[in-house]
Structure 1
Amino acid sequence: MLFSQELKEASKPIIKKIYKDPFIQDMLHGTLSSDAIKFYLRADASYLKEFANIYALLIPKMNQLEDVKFLVEQIQFIVEGEVEAHEILAEYVQENYNEIVQEKVWPPSGDHYIKHMYFNAYAKENAAYTIAAMAPCPYVYQVIAKAALKDNGLNQNSILARWFEFYSKEMDALVNVFDNLMNQLTENMSIKEKNEIKSCFLQSTVHERNFFNMSYIQEDWLYGGD
């Protein structure tokens, strides 16, 4: 089994839980609250900005010009292409997307996730660690979206169905590139190193779950200890 496939197999139980969690289930049925949607958009706008920055940190670690070119294109996609998915959610809440994200949020779970990616980008020389921290993001969205489109519970009349349609296709190329890079970069690694990378991948998958859940409950910093 290829190492990338091994990572995906290990992440299946977590992704099943993400799918069954209330954020995705409410989105599936077209009943997700406007407050949860707006919180998600604000948090994701902050997340994607940092995700683009981490791509920039990954580029110098690439040996092939083709891989560099693809990552540059991915930065452009984050800046422009993924806004299409955000616009779908803004249409659902009947508010302007740019106005929604004027208000910034930086919740604890999002903070933890972003710092996890930065740590692996800065602390680990081998790009496999950075990719392991980043790859669950597109992979989780891809799997969830494809599952939703086959789910009889999907509310086809809801605008939110278009969000699933977007991610069912737009993540394919990135997931494939990450898979290939992961397999190449770990080819001569020890079992210990591969286990570290697997742990990194699974941690990011858990972070994806926490990100959806934090949006559902509109998580905040409890400085007072309450």
Structure 2
Amino acid sequence: MTFTEQLRQENDDVFQKIFTHPFVDGIGRGDVPKDSIIHYVKADFEYLNAFMKIYALSMVKAKSRDDIRFFFDQIGFVLNDEVHPHHNFCDYVGVEYEALQSSSLPPTADHYIKHMMHHAQTGTIAEIYAALLPCPWTYLEIGQELLKTYKPTKSHPFYEWITFYADEEVERITLELRHRLDQEAQDVSQEQKQLIKEAFRKSCELEWKFWEMAYICETWPSEQEASRI
């Protein structure tokens, strides 16, 4: 069993919670509250901006030009390709994508970004891989699960979203990150392996919380108080 296979096995409980979350299952059913989708896109746009910056910070700790090229290519994928599932959601709610940009981050998204930034700034390259990996890996498996369970046709409102994340390109990125983490984990101490496992686990849990954040339209307490006035 490889190190990342072990990580996947140890965190299957969180993966299953993600698959059965009402937002995720709603994507498969083609029925998600529009307010939740809007909240998701607003937060995910800013999250992906931060994800690109974390890739850029990771270049500083790259050990080779191959590492630098990998991070550079991932920035391009997020910047140019991951807008497509956002557009699918925006079309569903009937809101222009530009109208959902430059929003403040809800608490969970803010926490998730700072968690990854912490490892990018203070951790090893292995910790960075571990903190980043749950994002593409969970989305890949969400896409595959929804494709298998619901067998959406092109008339499905979220067909583009589902097929994007079930696509071989997301699988390629996931496998590449896994391969790089497996290589790095071969030569680290048990103490360092525990730090890697904790980084991966927290990112998995924050992926689940991100769906919950969007579904309940999570806001900061001060914003909740302001809305009551």
Interval of TM-score (by shorter of Structure 1 and Structure 2): over 0.9
Is 1:77 the counterpart of 2:77 in the alignment?
Answer: yes
Partners of 2:70 and 2:187 in 1: CA distance: 24
Cα offset, 1:100, TM superposition: 2.6
Partners of 2:203 and 2:111 in 1: CA distance: 10
* TM-score computed with the length of structure 2 as normaliser: 0.92
1:60 aligns with: 60
Any conservation in 2 of the 1:29–1:155 contact (CA below 8 Å)?
no
Unaligned 5+ segments in structure 2 are: none
* TM-score computed with the length of structure 1 as normaliser: 0.93
Is 1:120 the counterpart of 2:119 in the alignment?
Answer: yes
Is 1:151 the counterpart of 2:124 in the alignment?
Answer: no
Cα offset, 1:93, TM superposition: 1.1
SS of residue in 2 equivalent to 1:185: helix
SS of residue in 2 equivalent to 1:95: coil
Any conservation in 1 of the 2:129–2:177 contact (CA below 8 Å)?
yes
After the TM superposition, which segments of 4 or more aligned residues of structure 1 sit over 6 Å from their partners? none
1:179 aligns with: 178
Is 1:162 the counterpart of 2:160 in the alignment?
Answer: yes
- Which range moves more in the overlay, 75-84 or 205-214? 75-84
Which residue among 134, 137, 141 is the counterpart of 1:136?
134
Unaligned 5+ segments in structure 1 are: none
Q: In the TM superposition, what are the counterparts of 1:1-226 in structure 2 within 5 Å?
A: 1-102=1-102, 104-124=103-123, 126-152=124-150, 157-169=155-167, 170-223=169-222
Partners of 1:74 and 1:36 in 2: CA distance: 27
SS of residue in 2 equivalent to 1:223: helix
Q: Number of residues paired by the alignment?
A: 224
SS of residue in 2 equivalent to 1:171: helix
Q: Percent identity among equivalent residues?
A: 31
Instruction: Please report the RMSD computed on the Cα atoms of aligned residues, expressed in angstroms.
Output: 1.7
Cα offset, 1:224, TM superposition: 8.2
Q: Deviations over 1:99-120 (max 9, x none)?
A: 2325x13101011100100111
Any conservation in 1 of the 2:137–2:174 contact (CA below 8 Å)?
yes
Partners of 1:155 and 1:101 in 2: CA distance: 29
Any conservation in 1 of the 2:15–2:204 contact (CA below 8 Å)?
yes
Q: Deviations over 1:58-87 (max 9, x none)?
A: 112122212211211111111111101111
Partners of 1:97 and 1:168 in 2: CA distance: 23
Q: Deviations over 1:184-204 (max 9, x none)?
A: 111111222112211110110
Q: Deviations over 1:134-176 (max 9, x none)?
A: 1100000001110110004758632212211000113112111
Partners of 1:81 and 1:166 in 2: CA distance: 9
SS of residue in 2 equivalent to 1:218: coil
Partners of 1:208 and 1:160 in 2: CA distance: 20
Partners of 2:203 and 2:223 in 1: CA distance: 28
- Which range moves more in the overlay, 66-75 or 216-225? 216-225
Any conservation in 1 of the 2:29–2:150 contact (CA below 8 Å)?
no
Partners of 1:146 and 1:153 in 2: CA distance: 10
Query: Which amino acid in 2 is paired with 1:127?
Result: I
Partners of 2:200 and 2:159 in 1: CA distance: 28
